[in-house]
Amino acid sequence: MTKSNPLVSIIKTLQGIGHRMVERIWRLGAGARLFFLTIVYSGESFKRFHLTMREIYSTGVMSLLIIIVSAFFVGMVLALQGYNTLQKYGSSEAIGVLVSLSLVRELGPVVTALLFAGRAGTAITAEIGLMKTTEQLSAMEMMAVNPIARVVAPRFWAGVISMPILATLFSMVGILGGYIVAVPLIGVDEGAFWSQMQANVDFQSDIVNGIIKSLVFGVACTMIALFEGFDAPPTAEGVSRATTRTVVISSLTVLGFDFVLTSFMMVI
Amino acid sequence: MTNNIVEIDNLSFGYKGRLLHKGINMVFPRGKVVAIMGGSGSGKTTLLRLIGGQIKPSKGEVRVHGDVVHKQDRDGIFKLRRKMGMLFQQGALFTDLSVYENVAFPMRELTDLPDSMIRDLVLMKLNAVGLRGAHTLMPAELSGGMARRVALARAIALDPAIMMYDEPFAGLDPISMGVICSLIRSLNDALGATSIIVSHDVKETFLIADYVYFVANGVVTAEGTPDDLMKSTLPFVHQFVHGDKDGPVPFHYPAGNYQTELLKQR
């Protein structure tokens, strides 16, 4: 066995780090390019909106069950935990405000985006990755049909349209779950529950900001899923890795963006 | 005016520092079935992608109807591709669309034909490949041979002037192979098209091709009519045509000394 030169191994490590950084920057650029082209070719897909409608069904409507069930449980847990703390200060009637503000401002958009990435994002990546593997995208190109206009843009807009609707539904169902736990089960006054919520939830700073967040998450999650599918190596392993990356990158992006957006919204 | 629909002129192509093609010249005359043959990895499919403008050559050019493919902008490339039809190795059918919708796809995307006319055309194309009765099936319900025939019907949907076939016989049973073989020839003659077949199946390709190019080591090593090539004494052509195990194309991938490797201490 020859003894390895420490200088050589340091150089190799640095090369490895540099290579990975260059690759990540390249992927970021390629993702931005795909986003730009998707916007440019969106006009073509708007002309045939039925394609987007079909994707809204598969990404949005098909995600309804997981969104509604999760929202219901999240709302119920929020009410339980909130009541536990609020009653110590004698303000258990504020439970409605706590549940609604938590859902509308944060949990609605964030949890919906995380569930969306897991349910619809992975489906988008796997579908496009397999279309690439089975040469369906190449076939489209050879038929003089632009795959970005035909495949990517309708899915992108379907995700962007679906996300705020799903997040709004999440908040509504979550509030219902919170109500069921707080009012019939714990016995909080129903009038106080709703009136305090009505008095303290602001349309502009709470509801609209929540919708803005979910719109941004919709753009990010859908674009990440589309890019990962489009960029996946055309092998079974490549598609599998791309699907995993979609969930990991989308989740981290959503949580990071949430902090940034919340900071901006508090300043403004 | 030249009678050649596609011309490949002194074409070189490579990636990752490796030159796959080194100055290839080929011509594809109108109405002819021309085959490109060679071993796996010899860059046959890449030639089809160069003709279709999916990749750009490092040197030289491909001309389709006199237009240099890699000098076209996106619209120009799409305009050229509308004259082309391509049958992919695995068919590349859209798995979320039925057989009918697959064949109708290029008509819906590239023309303003009314639905009634599209219906008639789709049924005519499917009838030509013997699958009119299968128009309601989904791609997952088709056998390999049927999928290839549906893909063929889709490729000829807009009556292309140039048909490209990427390994059309690969993985087919003898009956399907025979069907595809006769379809390629009859469709070419019926459409008055120019067909380019990329294949390594000697028997089937020689049966329908008018002219054959052999590609190896990045260059055209031999060319001629199937009859000429059957009689060829060139070592590579002889090995390929007769399926000899060893010859200019070695059986073994380059490796070190066998005995030394076996006796090497771990």
The class that CATH gives domain B4-263 is: alpha beta
Residue A34, both tokens: 């795909």
Residues B117-145 have pLDDT tens digits of 999 999 999 998 888 999 999 999 998 88
A143 inside 8 A of chain B by CB: yes
Provide the mean pLDDT of chain B. Answer: 87
- Could you give the CA distance from residue B53 to residue B60 in angstroms, rounded to a whole number? 13
Per-residue pLDDT band for B216 (boundaries 50, 70, 90) equals confident
A136 inside 8 A of chain B by CB: yes
- Nearest by CB to residue B81, choosing from A135, A143, A150, is A143
Please give the ipTM for the structure prediction: 0.82
B9 three-class SS: strand
Query: Could you give the angle at which helices A122-133 and A153-180 cross, rounded to 10 degrees?
Result: 160
Residues A147-181 have pLDDT tens digits of 999 999 999 999 999 999 999 999 999 999 999 99
The predicted pLDDT at position B129 comes to 85
Smallest Cα–Cα separation from A127: which of A151, A158, A154? A151
DSSP codes, A1-55 = -PPPPHHHHHHHHHHHHHHHHHHHHHHHHHHHHHHHHHHHTHHHHHHTHHHHHHH
Residues B140-164 have pLDDT tens digits of 999 888 898 899 899 988 889 999 9
The reply to whether residue B94 touches residue A136, judged by beta carbons under 8 angstroms, is: yes
Q: How many beta-carbon pairs below 8 A join chains A and B? A: 44
The predicted pLDDT at position B253 comes to 74
Closest chain A residue by Cα to residue B94: A136
Domain segments of chain A: what residues? 15-262
Examine the pLDDT at B247 and tell me if it is beyond 80.
Answer: no
The b-or-e profile of B88-126 (16+ CB within 10 A means b, else e) is bbbbbbbeebbbbbbbbbbbbbbeeeeeeebeebbeebb
CA angle (B6, B12, B15) in 5-degree steps: 120
- Could you give the CA distance from residue B227 to residue B209 in angstroms, rounded to a whole number? 10
**Section B172-199 average pLDDT:** 87
- Nearest by CB to residue A138, choosing from B88, B94, B106, is B88
Residue A64, both tokens: 């309804």
**Section A3-24 average pLDDT:** 88
Cα-atom radius of gyration of chain B, to the nearest Å? 20
The reply to whether residue B54 touches residue A138, judged by beta carbons under 8 angstroms, is: yes
- Are the C-beta atoms of residues A98 and A78 closer than 8 Å to each other? yes
What is the edge-to-edge ordering of all strands in the sheet holding B211-216?
B84-87, B162-166, B194-199, B33-37, B211-216, B219-224
Provide the mean pLDDT of chain A. Answer: 92
pTM for the predicted model, two decimal places: 0.85
Per-residue pLDDT band for A102 (boundaries 50, 70, 90) equals very high
Residue B89 with chain A: CB contacts under 8 Å? 135
Q: Tell me the CA end-to-end span of chain B in Å, nearest whole number.
A: 68
The predicted pLDDT at position B5 comes to 87
Per-residue pLDDT band for A3 (boundaries 50, 70, 90) equals low
Domain segments of chain B: what residues? 4-263
